[in-house]
Structure 1
């Protein structure tokens, strides 16, 4: 098939994919948010280790667990730090309790270790434990083997120092520039809107070219658009999570409900544009396609595609009055073509794919109007 052939030709080489993956990984590791998180993790671990010797009783003998607790609680947002820290402490408590049950009836042995690990893994299957599930067998094994003849003191020191570290980690994450990802969410929404508008304008340009058109990049973008929509949803959800329990949210007001509305609208628009992309690609390159686009409809269909593209572009920074003008012009172009197709009898022997494209354009305009403030 022609579409598959073009997708294969557009696919990068294996070496190129590996290089791209390495470059993206390094860039992600050295990104601003990651460097900020690393700095705060280092600060929290240092503070926890400073405080650890001040703990009462036998807990002061295990200061190295405090920075570990700080690292465990360090997350990209405050609410995540709290959730992860609490889950870890719950997991530790369950693991320590499990170890005590077995220590009270038997000394450490290969059989005891096997039983502890098996029961720990079973308990890790409890719901809502999150990262805490990984600490159940770990804590049980440490109490069993490291606690030695004095498991009481070790368990007390282990749990207390980890708790101190968790508290320090949460406090540092909350007080030292807790991140808000509102700008990233807004930028990702704008980028998706621009990509969708470009897809429509490129398809409009294809309608005006001699077929097969010279420019065909638009024909293999369908999956890329879907991936972009998924990335935008992840960005909006990340922004939502970043505001929870974040003291800076009061200083940086942002309407995330509006972002979610825009996201749902753009996801719907993406679906309709994907459908149009597949339809138009089949009409152009599939020899046995059961439908056609009659030549008299090519120019008005191109105008309608470009008009709706301009509507999407205007939603980013144009004045509402200008947006309304563009929406009215696009609706007039789509309605005029729909009325013409309803009255014409251009090619009675093959169904017109133009009808499917016009229907999708109409639905896109309906989504845009519903999403206007």
Structure 2
């Protein structure tokens, strides 16, 4: 390691050490393989676009630097997005160039006419379905006014042709050079959420068996993080779905995205119920004004039922189908046994029992799991 690459030593000011950690983390994040792959393809597309730019017809050859810009504009994390973004950009450029020519038809540009055209450009940028091309409408109009000068026809033709050539190169490179499929990330995110929900139930089951208030209370603060995890899983599945569109590699790596969406919807429902149980149990344990309690007679069977449902949630990632079926049956029996005991036993308490609410959530979780396995 050279001197310039060495991390700041302990003797350096704390601010410098913190800055080094931030920069090191940013570099590590930026060099993740998907981003590095996209950067390499963008570099390749820009180089090819700049190479062919001088061979464009007529005055377009005089503006070669717009070709690599078009290639970068069209470079997206998936093929369908690359096509969509490239076409939207060209549409936005064409509209912007048309606005500029409308200004020229009014005579020499003045501050008033420029302001009018820019205002119209911003209004047109709000057109539906124009997407990323919206930003290019006022930009293209202004470039024609400023760079086109006294020969806007020549500049506009070269600008649009070179950008079109670059966009085409970017789409082709993204299509042919290892177009990414994000199936693995979607599968991993689904598995991680399933295990996180299982762990949450298991931790709450453990808390029920501890002396109250329990020593371990980190589970009570996970409700928001579980919701955030569910949102991240949805984004991952949607990203995987988008990556397969117009992607030739999907034939070599087939995957039923509908199954991922179904698993996602099921886990979102389970997440809601786990959050509800988390809130109810947290209030029972720590909230002073809660109107509910968990009677001592039911803590052990409730803990067993929650633990059994936790095992069912975890089983698709760790167990065979036969074992999954066995665990599901055990969980159903535990929930039914707890329901039977609640109906058969009368417990005298000053406050209503919260067990019914938790039991209903567990029943709904198992119903979601049953439906997903059917």
User: TM-score, normalised to structure 2's length?
Assistant: 0.93
CA distance in 2 between counterparts of 1:121 and 1:180 reads 36
CA distance in 1 between counterparts of 2:42 and 2:112 reads 38
Q: Structure 1 residue 171 and structure 2 residue 172: aligned?
A: yes
Say which SS state the counterpart of residue 106 (structure 1) adopts.
coil
Q: Which runs of 5+ in 2 are unaligned?
A: 1-17
Contact 2:293 2:354 in 1 (8 A): yes
CA distance in 1 between counterparts of 2:25 and 2:355 reads 40
Q: What is the match of residue 96 of structure 1?
A: 97
In the TM superposition, residue 318 of structure 1 has moved relative to its aligned partner by: 1.7
Contact 2:262 2:372 in 1 (8 A): yes
Task: Give a deviation string over 1:157-203, Cα, whole Å, max 9, x none.
Answer: 00000000000000000100000000000000000000000000000
Task: Give a deviation string over 1:16-64, Cα, whole Å, max 9, x none.
Answer: x999976664443221100110110000000000010000100000000
Q: Which runs of 5+ in 1 are unaligned?
A: 1-16
Say which SS state the counterpart of residue 191 (structure 2) adopts.
helix
Contact 2:90 2:164 in 1 (8 A): yes
Contact 1:265 1:367 in 2 (8 A): yes
Contact 1:78 1:178 in 2 (8 A): yes
Q: What is the match of residue 350 of structure 1?
A: 351
CA distance in 2 between counterparts of 1:18 and 1:45 reads 33
Does 96-105 or 67-76 show the bigger shift? Answer: 96-105
Q: Structure 1 residue 336 and structure 2 residue 337: aligned?
A: yes
Q: May I ask how many residue pairs the two structures share in their alignment? A: 357
Distance 1:18-1:265 versus aligned 2 partners, 3 A rule? farther
Contact 2:97 2:144 in 1 (8 A): yes
Q: What do you get for the CA RMSD once the two structures are aligned? A: 1.6
In the TM superposition, residue 109 of structure 1 has moved relative to its aligned partner by: 2.6
Does 241-250 or 345-354 show the bigger shift? Answer: 345-354
Alignment of 1:229-240 (within 5 A): 229-240=230-241
Contact 2:100 2:142 in 1 (8 A): yes
In the TM superposition, residue 344 of structure 1 has moved relative to its aligned partner by: 1.4
Q: What is the match of residue 296 of structure 1?
A: 297
Task: Give a deviation string over 1:243-288, Cα, whole Å, max 9, x none.
Answer: 0000000000111111001000000000000000010011111122
Distance 1:272-1:37 versus aligned 2 partners, 3 A rule? same
CA distance in 1 between counterparts of 2:167 and 2:150 reads 27
Distance 1:231-1:211 versus aligned 2 partners, 3 A rule? same
Q: What is the match of residue 49 of structure 1?
A: 50
CA distance in 1 between counterparts of 2:72 and 2:283 reads 53
Contact 2:103 2:114 in 1 (8 A): no
Q: What is the match of residue 206 of structure 2?
A: 205
Q: What is the match of residue 258 of structure 1?
A: 259
Q: What is the match of residue 75 of structure 1?
A: 76
Contact 2:45 2:173 in 1 (8 A): yes
CA distance in 1 between counterparts of 2:328 and 2:22 reads 41
CA distance in 1 between counterparts of 2:27 and 2:304 reads 44
CA distance in 2 between counterparts of 1:120 and 1:182 reads 39
CA distance in 2 between counterparts of 1:25 and 1:276 reads 37
In the TM superposition, residue 73 of structure 1 has moved relative to its aligned partner by: 0.3
Q: What is the match of residue 65 of structure 2?
A: 64
CA distance in 2 between counterparts of 1:20 and 1:351 reads 52
Contact 1:108 1:145 in 2 (8 A): no
Does 68-77 or 100-109 show the bigger shift? Answer: 100-109
CA distance in 2 between counterparts of 1:92 and 1:266 reads 43
Task: Give a deviation string over 1:218-239, Cα, whole Å, max 9, x none.
Answer: 1111101000000000000000
Q: What is the match of residue 219 of structure 1?
A: 220
Contact 2:205 2:303 in 1 (8 A): yes
Q: What is the match of residue 4 of structure 2?
A: none
CA distance in 2 between counterparts of 1:19 and 1:287 reads 46
Task: Give a deviation string over 1:73-130, Cα, whole Å, max 9, x none.
Answer: 0000000000000000000000001111111221123223222211111111111111
Q: What is the match of residue 269 of structure 1?
A: 270
Contact 2:295 2:349 in 1 (8 A): no
Q: What is the match of residue 112 of structure 1?
A: 113
